[in-house]
Amino acid sequence: MDQLHAQTLARRMKERRQELHLTATEVARRADIDPATITRIEAGRISSPRSDSLAAIAKVLDIPVTDFYVCAGLVPDKELPTFNYYLRTKYSNISEKDRAILEGVFEQITKAYGHDPRGPSNGEDEG
């Protein structure tokens, strides 16, 4: 895990833990892991947290485990689903009209930042 992912994971974990008014020790107890692990992850001092530890922490913090894996860089960006596929899969009850509106807004925003929502990430097709 690179430093950016470590910081993102640390920030997300600590924010959520504090939202739930839990101590690091309590999260560790509920996740059945060493309290030092929580402290070290939140300090960004673990370069490769174990996936089973992340899954246990995510469960305690009521965060989808896949979100934690993405934060930790365990799922490469190029393997993430496109917004349109994600939207249609995760929110299948949204009307076709409303999905089209969301997809259109997303496309406008991504283009403004120089991304193609259907294409490779910047630099991904180079080399």
- Give which of 118, 123, 8, 124 is closest to 63, Cα–Cα: 8
Query: Would you say residue 126 has pLDDT above 50?
Result: no
Domain boundaries, the chain: 3-76, 81-112
* Spatial CA neighbour of 13 closest among 71, 85, 52: 71
**Is pLDDT above 60 for 125?**
no
Q: Pick 127 or 59 by higher pLDDT.
A: 59
- The Cα 48–Cα 123 span in angstroms is 25
Q: Flag whether pLDDT at 97 surpasses 90.
A: yes
CATH H superfamily, domain 3-76: lambda repressor-like DNA-binding domains (1.10.260.40)
Its pTM stands at: 0.72
Q: How many helices (H) and strands (E) does the chain have?
A: 7, 0
Task: Give the C-alpha separation, 77 to 79, whole Å.
Answer: 5
